Amino acid sequence: MLPGELLVTKTKKNRIYPVFAEIDEEHQELAVELIEVYINFVGKKKSEIDEIVAEFEQGLNFKLVRGLRTLLERRCIFKSKFTVEPVLARKAVFEAASIKKITNRNEREEVIGNVAKKLNISVDDLEQSLWADQESEVVLDDFAALTPEELLKLYNLSLAQTLLFKSTGMNASFKGNYKEIFRAIKYLGLMYSPEGNKIRIEGASSLLKLSERYGTSLAKLLPTIVNSEEWGFDAEIVIRRDTPRIYHFVMDSKSRKNLLLSKEKESKTTFDSGIEERFYNEFLSSPASKGWELIREPDAVFTGKTVFIPDFKFKHKEIGIETYFEIVGFWTEEYIKRKLSKLRAMPFTMLVAIDRNLACFNSANFELGLHQPVILFSRKVPVGEVIRYLAGIESEEIKREVERLKGMRIEIEGDIVSIKDIAMRYNVGKEAIRACLNNPEYVVFKEVVVKKELLRELKEQLMSIEKYVQAREIIEETGLTNADEVLAHLGFRVQWKGLDPSAATIALQ
């Protein structure tokens, strides 16, 4: 954020926009020169830096340069460099000077020399210590450098935040980053309510009167929103002249994403609890879960007057079906009641795992009242039960797809056809295709369907082959990669002699 006097805006009808710095050659050149000043002047006094930077403000956009300078100085660490505490140094000099009235430079140097000798330091060290605590005398000790592009984007973000100081509220939409945004909303003392696929964000007093009281909070929320994958907002900005007037500040990630600085996404998955993390790791390591993708903190679900963010979403890798999963751990009775109220409002079925050791379960007035499938657990979520639930969903979906394919002729052309390609053509999963393929001219394997005529030709060639490796080569030359599956179908048995494939032979069973 920047001081209000550095805000530069333009208006058009009922819209207002900050005058952003374009990420072009001219602005990047200015950013480079300013950054280099702070890099090269480490160890120098602030007054020396101010003198150099002030030259950039001559003949250029004063507010832009001052804004960039403000952001750069926030990345600086200035320290006072002294041998003796400045207050003590001044006291010693003033006391010595009061005894002997100073009327010229020589007398001053004499006093300084006597005080330095008394303090057992050099004259230069005393001179430096006298005013070392003044702002102009502090020394640049360290500077956290950044790239010119980062500086310009940070300036633009700060400019947008500064405009939001005058905001009474906003309608916002975003994809991803949900928990961080809603936590920030709560922390900043803001209120939200769903409005279609967007949320309305404002302060409590904004509901009753035209108030900019929460503008600073909205400004602080902006970096978290910008850190989403996709985002957009429409904020009401009050400009108070003779008569207050409301303008709209509208931005989205499509038009301004490249102008605003956002934090890099952390690749590490974070969890709200050890129970969630343990389930996540155990599910991914289970062979039975390989057909499912597990998504941490999926899209928010808007239900009536609230927003719900499930812990996980399961997405089938082939069929495309999705289902949500919520883990309810140990919390207070009030928290559980609010959580269950949200779960009851879900417009779809969602699996819920609840800790059976919740203290509120022992309350006589406590009612679960969920119309959702529930798994009770102690200490850890039973991955096997979750996988069985998903298997049931998968089975039901396959049945629906098979029912849809009934009576439909599945067209196949070619000697070898991928089941995946057929499934994509009919918009179903591979299991449904396998169940419904009944073409008498083809044989169904795990991943492909193969013309019987090609298989007959292969068998004739293999009749005179003894070596397993040679048989594999013949099969793979046709384009088939599942040699062992084909050999088994054709009635051949592989006889192994140790682990070396070159020593193995084939024979008809």
Q: Domain holding 337: CATH number?
A: 3.40.1350
Residue range 343-364: average pLDDT? Answer: 71
CB of 443 closer than 8 Å to CB of 449: yes
Domain match, 183 and 241 both = yes
Rounded Cα distance between 452 and 443, Å, is 6
In tens, the pLDDT along 220-235 reads: 999 999 888 889 999 9
Domain match, 33 and 98 both = no
Domain tally, the chain? 5
Residue range 231-254: average pLDDT? Answer: 87
The 8-class DSSP code of residue 5 comes to G
The radius of gyration computed from the CA coordinates of the chain, to the nearest angstrom, equals: 36
Rounded Cα distance between 277 and 37, Å, is 47
Domain match, 366 and 306 both = yes
- Tell whether 260 is covered by a domain: no
In tens, the pLDDT along 452-483 reads: 999 999 999 999 889 999 999 999 999 998 89
Q: What is the pTM of this model?
A: 0.61
- Tell whether 40 is covered by a domain: yes
Domain match, 97 and 237 both = no
Domain match, 25 and 139 both = yes
* pLDDT band, residue 421 (cuts 50/70/90): very high
Residue 364: give the domain boundaries.
274-393
Domain match, 86 and 54 both = no
Domain match, 169 and 91 both = no
Domain match, 245 and 116 both = no
Q: β-strand 374-377 against 350-355: which pairing, if any?
A: parallel
Amino acid identity, residue 214?
Answer: Y
DSSP string across 184-237: HHHHTT-EEEEETTEEEEE-GGGGTS---TTHHHHHHHHHHHHTSSEEEEEEEE
Domain match, 2 and 148 both = yes
Residue 105 pLDDT > 90, yes or no? Answer: no
- Tell whether 266 is covered by a domain: no
Rounded Cα distance between 166 and 245, Å, is 11
Residue 267 pLDDT > 60, yes or no? Answer: no
Rounded Cα distance between 1 and 411, Å, is 63
Whole-angstrom distance between the N-terminal and C-terminal Cα of the chain? 79
CA 393 to chain centre: 30
Domain match, 74 and 89 both = no
Residue 156 pLDDT > 80, yes or no? Answer: yes
The 8-class DSSP code of residue 504 comes to -
Rounded Cα distance between 51 and 73, Å, is 14
Domain match, 250 and 317 both = no
Q: Phi/psi at 166 (nearest 5 deg)?
A: -95, 15
- Tell whether 401 is covered by a domain: no
Question: What's the mean pLDDT when you consider all of the chain?
Answer: 83
Domain match, 47 and 140 both = yes
CA 485 to chain centre: 44
Structure tokens at 307: 């927003």
- Tell whether 398 is covered by a domain: no
pLDDT in the model for residue 289: 87
Q: Among 228, 255, 282, identify where a domain stops.
A: 255
